[in-house]
Chain A
Amino acid sequence: EPEVTQTPSHQVTQMGQEVILRCVPISNHLYFYWYRQILGQKVEFLVSFYNNEISEKSEIFDDQFSVERPDGSNFTLKIRSTKLEDSAMYFCASSQEGRKTLYFGPGTRLTVT
């Protein structure tokens, strides 16, 4: 069964550094998403991406965040200058169509020190 994959599984970085989180969505899916979950808290929407552009983003997704689909398979989230409060589990998800089931990757745990 196809699945969403994410790398790395755990990333430790120093405050102010740039990080890139990588995702490979399911191949025939058209909608891509990033969510984050701060330890013990709710799953928060960051951004949705369709047809090679951002279709919606949350207030969390400020100028320090960016997403890219550099080729036909990868979907990346870049945080330009990490802050302590960016420490969280970041989940990539994809869906075949809008409003359909999200398929989540296993997540990348980002720790900012």
Chain B
Amino acid sequence: AQSVTQLGSHVSVSEGALVLLRCNYSSSVPPYLFWYVQYPNQGLQLLLKYTSAATLVKGINGFEAEFKKSETSFHLTKPSAHMSDAAEYFCAVTGEAGGFKTIFGAGTRLFVKA
């Protein structure tokens, strides 16, 4: 069965600093990987996705993630944090066939300090 592990339930950075949110996955078939963002009192929205094309994926709001098969990782980065990036970030994997369920990690809350 597929699974996702996000290291760090909380990450705090200063405005303008690098953002790095870690995600490792497990899947018995080539995975599709996603990062979703959740702002307070809102649903989840897609930041970016990896679907077996380019390993470096660019998303909205300046975020990007790199798929590393050898490390089973899909870490999310942004060169310079902005106050508006403060939110909860979820890594997700869709692996096996059937219902094509997407499994989410526990989430990482990003705090951005002025």
By a beta-carbon cutoff of 8 Å, the part of chain A in contact with chain B is 4, 31, 33, 35, 41-45, 47-48, 50, 54-58, 91, 95, 98-107
A98 touches B43 (CB 8 A): no
Tell me the bound Cα distance from A47 to B103 in angstroms: 11
Q: Work out how many contacts link A and B, with CB atoms closer than 8 A.
A: 66
In the complex, what's the smallest C-beta–C-beta distance from B104 to chain A, in angstroms? 4
Contacts known (A42-B106, A42-B107, A43-B90); A106 close to B43, Cβ less than 8 A: yes
Looking at chain A's contact residues, the main secondary structure is strand
* Contact of B53 with A by CB under 8 A: no
Q: Once bound together, how far apart are the Cα atoms of A33 and B104, in whole Å?
A: 13
Quick one: given A43-B107, A101-B34, are A91 and B100 in contact (CB under 8 Å)?
Answer: no
Q: Indicate if the CB atoms of B45 and A99 lie closer than 8 Å.
A: no
Chain A residue with the shortest CB-CB distance to B51: A99
